[in-house]
Structure 1
Amino acid sequence: MLINSPIISFTILLIVIFTIPPLFERLKLPGLVGLLVAGVILGSSGLKLLNPESDTIKLLSDIGKIYLMFVAGLEIDLEQFRKTKNRSIGFGILTFLFPLIAGIFVGRLFNFSWNTSVLIGSLLASHTLLAYPIISRLGVVGNEAVTVTIGATIFTDTGALLVLAVCVGIHGGEFTPLSLLTLLAGLAIYSAIVLFGFDWAGKEFFKRTGDEQSNQFLFILLALFLASVGAQIIGVEKIVGAFLAGLAVNDVLGRSPVKEKIEFIGSVLFIPCFFIDMGLLIDIPAFIRTLSSIGITAAIVIALIGSKFIAAYLAKLLYSYNNTELLTMWSLSLPQVAATLAAALVAYQTVNSANERLINESVLNSIIVLMLITAIIGPMITSRFASSLTVPQANLADKKLLSWWGNEKNNLAENINDIFTVIVPIYNPQTQRHLLEIAALLARHESGKMVPLAITKGHAQMDNPLLQMGLAQSRQRLDLAREISQEFDVEVSPVIRIDDDIALGISRTSREQNANLVVLGWSKNIGFRSRLFGNIIDSIFWSSHCPVAVTRLLSSPTTFKKILVPVGDLTRQTISAIRFSQILADVNQAEVVLLHISNPRTPGIQVELFESKLLDVASKSKLQVKTNIQTVKGDDIGKIIIQEATNYDLVVLRSIRYRTTGGLAVSEVTTEVIKGLKSSIVLLGEPN
């Protein structure tokens, strides 16, 4: 009775999700492997604590399965796809067709039916961008071969799921050419309704709801489940609808805080449940028999690896890529995780009237082995060769800096400033002095003014004692701000604002004041609540019209003599960080050091070329600031930055501002650096 209790089952699942993945990651193994192993141990082949046939497991696994495909649709970068649309489609066709043909050949070789053989081919045709964090960390996402491979994902995943839909439809009933035509026609109409209808409805809904993130979150979930239900109604597997829904709302969500919450809920709960259920379905004796008669497993693995290489090689010949780009494209298209596992489970669970499965246990077990192998070797090859890729660097003649530090005037008539303005929201008396000091230094350097801002939480009744107390506290903070401004001989215009939303109150005031910069103190809210519900800084980055500098100042900015700026590429955000650092250094006659960490395998000529471009960027500043370049070779970027920063007063890091649907985006390396640095930090972002 306890084992069959939904609450007991759910509790066991939570314990597994909470404990197992971190343990496997410490062993340098993917966390999802740990979930599969846990499923095997807790299932019928082990402790029998979880029953894959129970309603609880079925429900959570189904949600995880469609959630996995939904997130796969969300993660496809449509902007990257549009940049290299033709070449992405070309490579997508190659890396879809060759594995499909190879899979069909393997299926027929082992005497499977034509329908099952085509299904096996479709399982090999898709790919998961498991190594994307690696190329992102290396800063080579802008390389054309990488962009083409990312764009090809939309073609391979969509094609594989459409083939799955047809194969499941054929297996489930009597097949006739008319029934196939009807299925394809219904699928085409349904796809158009989801892709265009949901996209339009989502944009209209988001436009009308503004910053109501809770309603937007529910709308996206509703779109996911409506698309999944609709797919089942027309006789197509629900994961096809989920993937189409992900593509449909991709543009709507962009990189918004709502998208982060959608992905967070899936990654910490539903998707892990799906992987545990995969483990529950593994029959250990059957799995051992599959591996002992290794023929089909070896054939599937070799077919996948070989066909993906042929596709990448042909792309190299067609588009004149070099060998490094060939190997990177190949390694990126190797991992078979999301779409492959979800489709394999669907095929295994599809039973016809004769009680025959679409694929048997040997194929399912072989796909699991394929997933494990490709999930390991794909990222390893990417890490080995992607570091030698080259990316086009920003051209200052073509990409003007939109911010005041780029010496560019804003071309919006209503945004013309008579005087340079820095907004400084203040709250904590113990930390606000350093915050006001850095704002005052910048304002004085630009012959502008500082606007200290105190936000008082609003109440329905304006005579509420709590409101009166809050206003009194705000006036005390602003009195201190006036004293500090007098020390720096800078104009000050204190502002008190009553607002229900602190973040929007700051953004609205900066807009009303035509501010050039918002200077914020560092938030300590970086735990579970921050990840799930966001925080004030994220909201300000999302809504502010002007650049935002988030600071953690451990000493007075007037004492900064050595400023470190880690530089990985020459994007506009990096150049902005350099310019900002030079302005801050000019205030204190400080030195700026541009730290470039190159991969040990990067050719020396390439490193020298980057240093020369970096020196050219640094020398274009009109300020007479001592700026040096330091290059360090190493693989652990975060650790090197933390070590080098011990001798510096301030580290300036760059973030990415997404102007439309926004938020603060930092890489895993930046997160590691922020946690490890013992010096002062400025995290800089400008409108994009």
Structure 2
Amino acid sequence: MVEFWHQLLREFQTPFQDSVLVFSVILFIILLAPVLLKRLRIPGIIGLIISGIIIGPHGLFLIEKNAAVDLFSTIGLLYIMFIAGLELDLGEFKKYRHKSLGFGLLTFLFPIALGFPVCYYLLGYGFNTSLLTASMFATHTLIAYPIVSRLGIAKNEAVAVAVGGTILTDTAVLIILAVIAGVEAEGGVNGLWARLAISILIFILVVAFVIPRIAAWFFKRLEDEKNSHFIFVLSVVFFCAFLAELSGLEPIIGAFAAGLMLNPLIPHTSGLMNRLEFVGNSLFIPFFLISVGMLIDIRVLTNGFGALLVAAALTAVALGGKWIAAYITGLWFRYSRSQSRLIFGLSSAHAAATLAVILVGYNIGIIDDNILNGTIVLILVTCLVASFVTEEAGKHVVLETDGEEPAEMRENPQRILVPISNPVTMERLIDFAITLKEPKNAFPIVALTVVPDDDKARAKLVQARKMLEKAITHAAAADQEIDITTTIDQNVTTGIQRVVKELFITDVVMGWPGKTNIADIIFGKTFDSVVNQTTQHVFITRFTLPLNVHNRLHILCPHLAEKESGFHAWVARLMRVAARLNLRTMLYGSEETYRAMTEYLAKNKINVSVESRTSYEISDLIRIRASVSPDDMVALICARKGSISYTPLLDILPKKMVRQMSDNSLVFVYPEIAPDDFIPSYTQEPAGGFLERGMDILRSARSIFKK
């Protein structure tokens, strides 16, 4: 028994040596620290950093900073940069790239301009030491980015500018660091710049051109292997980080580049995105924050007045330089006060790149102990300031942007119905409905199956419910809620129509029917009946590829489409799809329609650029098809009979597109209508229309009796 207690005490000797115990302690800290400190109104990030101080080598020394901790810390840092690139709104990033460049220049120059005189004249260091230390002030780490992500403002313009500026300034400083390290190692710069330029060029070519093509091929070929998607993405992230290191850059640049390259292929509403964020925010990123705390030694403040002076000077210059850059950026681009503070909060934390610069200088003998210890204090203070400022400013930005969605969305909240009859197309229909759904919409998507009222109705009802339960599982992976409904009715159309009325549905998402039967020829297809007997938005879809691998969205509009009452609503919905799937958007229609669309997008601050193809007629499918690639999605804006933009051509065009664009994903949109949208129709259907309709019936009948 005594031996047992001795063995137990040995297991708990500090620092803990048992890897299972170490991992358990860290997981408990990740679980409890944010929860406990939240009661004190302290951000969870600060709780993790403080926990790292307490359990680390400079605190209670419960855990030593060994290779395993360093590995998880590195993974966490790379994950932060990867998620930053993945969550970045590429449309915003491209639109504001000049602003990112401006902020990156300011946040690079001001800290150096302030830091060099302080180090050279006030602290009395030499030229090289002062220059290297000043360049350290220019770097910053996105410690507070998880706060922005949690608040749901990662797509805000200020965040896009701050993240873009971070990459620019960190890249510049880390290239300087690579040059300094190369000079010290080789004793000169002969051949260094040429070798660095070539290696960076190779890195860019591989990451920008090879990786996206491999990823697109992988997602197409292995659409159903969801677990493989997650492993593949992680492999790409760390491979790109390794390539960056091999090229003379820091691995964080490679991780961010991987996020940017995979951004168009991983929709922000997808299950894969949800899994990536969950693993990062739950494990890897907290591990990194704890490891940052383990680096901090607050005892350096007791090493005399010199250490205190250096620490105070470094901290003041670091925060002052970043504040000036953020303040001028806010004035320059006319940001709100909250957005300026948000930029300061995101850019004021110093950790990874700062340590890289200082440790290189320390190892080659340029940096002394006072600057090294002062940098540790700088990391602690700036991480605290960044977290508090980002939390406070982020909440104000949320309040400022809450009312920015279009008025019709606020007045008529979206409720989406997805009738499902084919389990093969179920996942893509649900994915499209999730992509279509407006943000902050509390109403769950409704999945519906209508069972005919016959002798086998009960058995079919049980079978239908089992099928719909798979929809719940699929949507849960994307953190989306789905209500499933099964109902018995005389026919599918009346069942859908009844549910639309009962649940106040605004959007119906259906699949294009496959085979045609005799009843379809005589009485019309189900979707025709649904369109004719409802006034809500109806989206008839036929997807040939996974949603995330499409490149462009071609929108075909009839004349006078902008006069319909549902024009703004369908524009908002399709632009949401284009933004979430990162699709280049082309509009085929009249100049008036294009002008009305661009005015609406500008008025409601919807940052999706639409290219004009107004010289095309939507009836000229041969010409349109020539400009469409197999990876493109084509949306036809249809119209119900009697509405202002209706023409008989719209009755036959969907079937022609299905036949002539067999490789493309198609979406047929029937906008919502109001009773006063109907006008008497005196338009005679052309002979070609009757002929085309007759040929459709003959083709359908032949396909039924054909073996």
The answer to whether the superposition gives a TM-score over 0.5 is yes
Q: Contact 1:102/1:307 (CA < 8 Å) preserved in 2?
A: yes
Larger Rg over CA atoms: 2
- 1:272 is aligned to 2:286: yes
CA RMSD of aligned residues (A): 5.2
Residue equivalent to 1:325: 336
SS in 2 for 1:67: helix
Residue 18 (structure 2) aligns with: 5
Q: Tell me if the contact between 2:141 and 2:353 (Cα under 8 Å) persists in the aligned partners.
A: no
**1:527 aligns to what?**
none
Which of the numbers 53, 72, 94 marks the counterpart of 1:82?
A: 94
- Tell me the TM-score normalized by structure 2: 0.54
- Cα deviation, residue 82, structure 1: 1.4
CA deviations on 1:497-529 (whole Å, 9 max, x unpaired) are xxxxxxxxx988576565779x9xxxxxxxxxx
Residues 9 and 56, structure 1, Cα contact 8 Å, conserved in 2: no
Distance, in Å, in 2 between the alignment partners of 1:316 and 1:59 is 38
1:231-277 superposed Cα distances (whole Å, 9 cap, x missing partner): 33344433332233223322332423223222221221122222222
Partner of 2:310 in structure 1?
296
More displaced, 248-257 or 269-278? Answer: 248-257
Q: How far does residue 91 in structure 1 lie from its aligned partner after superposition?
A: 3.1
Q: How many Å separate the matches in 2 of 1:364 and 1:476? A: 59
Q: 1:51 to 1:172 in 2, by over 3 A?
A: farther
Q: Aligned partners of 2:571 and 2:249: how far apart in 1? A: 47
Residue 310 (structure 2) pairs with residue 307 (structure 1): no
Deviation, structure 1 residue 51: 1.0
Contact 1:97–1:125 at 8 Å: present in 2 too? no
Instruction: Give 1:473's match in structure 2, choosing from 462, 469, 474.
Output: 462
Query: Partner letter of residue 44 of structure 2?
Result: G
1:637 counterpart residue number: none
What is aligned with 1:30? 43
Separation (CA, whole Å) in 2 of partners of 1:68 and 1:451: 36
- 8 Å CA contact retained: 2:419, 2:509: no
Output the amino acid matched with 1:344.
T
Q: Normalising by the residue count of structure 1, what TM-score does the alignment of the two structures yield?
A: 0.55
In the alignment, residue 449 of structure 2 is paired with which amino acid? L
Q: Does the 8 Å contact 1:95/1:308 carry over to 2?
A: yes
In structure 2, do the counterparts of structure 1 residues 18 and 172 end up closer, same or farther at CA, with 3 Å as the change threshold? Answer: farther
Contact 2:418 2:447 in 1 (8 A): yes
Q: Which 5+ residue runs of structure 1 have no aligned equivalent?
A: 407-419, 428-449, 456-467, 495-505, 520-539, 544-570, 577-612, 615-658, 661-685
CA shift in 2, pair 1:421/1:40, >3 Å: closer
> Separation in 1 of the partners of 2:218 and 2:390?
40
2:296, 2:344 → 1: CA distance? 26
Return closer, same or farther for 1:108/1:307 CA change in 2, 3 Å cut-off. Answer: same
Which segment drifts farther, 195-204 or 100-109?
Answer: 100-109
> Equivalent residue of 1:46, what SS?
coil
Mapping of residues 64-213 of structure 1, within 5 Å: 64-109=76-121, 110=123, 111=125, 114=128, 117-118=131-132, 120-126=134-140, 128=142, 130=144, 148-149=161-162, 151-170=164-183, 174-213=187-226
Partner residue of 2:355? 345
Alignment-derived partner of residue 423 in structure 1: 419
Contact preservation (8 Å) 2:137, 2:318: no
Is the partner of 2:375 in helix, strand or coil?
helix
Instruction: Provide the rounded CA distance (Å) in 1 between the counterparts of 2:112 and 2:513.
Output: 55
Map Cα deviations across residues 370-398 of structure 1 (whole Å, 9 max, x no partner).
121232134434555785689977599xx
Distance across 1 between alignment mates of 2:406 and 2:160: 17
Secondary structure of 2:346's counterpart equals: coil
After superposition, residues 627-642 of structure 1 pair within 5 angstroms as none
Q: Distance in 2 between matches of 1:217 and 1:205?
A: 12
Q: Match for 1:260: what amino acid?
A: N
Distance 1:47 1:244, change over 3 A: same
Question: 2:297: which partner in 1?
Answer: 283
1:333 alignment partner, SS class = helix
Q: Which one-letter code corresponds to 1:59 in the other structure? A: L
| Aligned-partner SS, 1:29 | coil
2:258 maps to 1:245: yes
- Deviation per residue, 1:52-103 (Å, 9 max, x gap): 1x23222222222322332233233322111233333233322332234334
- State the alpha-carbon separation in 1 of the partners of residues 148 and 465 from structure 2: 49
Check conservation: 2:46, 2:387, Cα contact below 8 A: no
Could you tell me how far 1:15 is from its partner in structure 2? 1.8
In the TM superposition, 1:555-574 aligns within 5 A as: none
Equivalent of residue 360 in structure 1, options 372, 387, 391: 372
Structure 2 CA distance, aligned partners of 1:328 and 1:213?
Answer: 37
1:226-625 superposed matches below 5 A? 226-255=239-268, 256-289=270-303, 293-312=307-326, 314-315=328-329, 318-319=332-333, 321=334, 325=336, 328-336=339-347, 340-350=350-360, 360-381=372-393, 383=395, 394=406, 423=419, 453=449, 473-474=462-463, 485=489, 491-492=494-495, 514=527
- Identify if the C-alpha distance between structure 1 residues 425 and 47 changes in structure 2 by more than 3 Å, giving closer, same or farther: farther
Residue pair 1:95, 1:156 contacting (<8 A) in 2 also: yes
Query: Aligned partner of 2:336: which letter?
Result: E
Percent of residue pairs bearing the same amino acid type? 26
Q: What code does the residue aligned with 1:36 have?
A: I
Is the contact made by 2:53 and 2:295 (CA closer than 8 Å) also made in structure 1?
Answer: yes
Q: 1:179 to 1:188 in 2, by over 3 A?
A: same
Contact 1:77 1:150 in 2 (8 A): no
CA distance in 2, matches of 1:423, 1:491: 12
Count of residue pairs the alignment pairs up = 465
Change over 3 Å in CA distance of 1:18–1:145 after alignment to 2: closer
3-state SS of the aligned residue for 2:419? strand
- Kept after mapping to 2: 8 A contact 1:80/1:150: no
State whether residues 229 and 238 of structure 1, in contact with CA within 8 Å, keep that contact through their aligned partners in structure 2: yes
